[in-house]
Each structure stands twice: as C-alpha cells, then as structure tokens.
Amino acid sequence: MAKKEFEEQVIKRLDAIIALMLEPKVKDLAIKEKVEILYNVGLNYNQIAEIMNKKPNNIAVIINSLKKKK
C-alpha cells in the first residue's frame, strides 16, 4: 500500500471516530448504528471494540447481525 493511500485511509477512519464522538446527534445513535458506521469505514472488530469500550465478540455479533440484514 502506498504511503498516500495509507494516510487517506487513516484520515477517513479518524474522521468517522471524531464524528461519532463529537456530533450531538450521534450521541443518540444506538450502539449498533455506531458499530455500523465504524465498520463501513474499514475498522475491524478489535479496533471498533477498543473505541467503543466493548469486547470484540460483542462487536462481532453486532456486525454479523448487520450483515444478515443486507
């Protein structure tokens, strides 16, 4: 992966995290919706679990339920 592409991915992920933390409307989102946002920007189960202060297995269950709905 090129350095520029890596930097763009990091920025995209940070933007999603910041949005989840600062946006007043986001505070009202359910955990499932927050997990979906973070997963859609490319974070893995462990990264999402760390951000959300949850166990990776809990995040995996949420993501799998989201995948089944699609």
* Distances, alpha carbon 37 to alpha carbons 2, 23, 47, 59, 60, in Å: 25, 13, 13, 12, 14
Residue pointed to by tokens 């007043």: 24
Tokens of 19: 């949005």
Number of separate domains in the chain:
1
Report yes or no on whether pTM surpasses 0.85: no
Cβ-based neighbours of 52, under 8 Å, separated by 6 or more: 31, 34, 35, 38, 59
The tens digit of pLDDT for each residue in 23-36 reads 666 566 788 888 99
- In the prediction, which pLDDT does 1 show? 67
The tens digit of pLDDT for each residue in 38-57 reads 898 888 899 889 888 899 99
Domain CATH code at residue 25: 1.10.10
Tell me the CB-side half-sphere exposure of residue 17, using CA atoms within 13 A. 14
Residue 18 belongs to domain spanning: 3-69
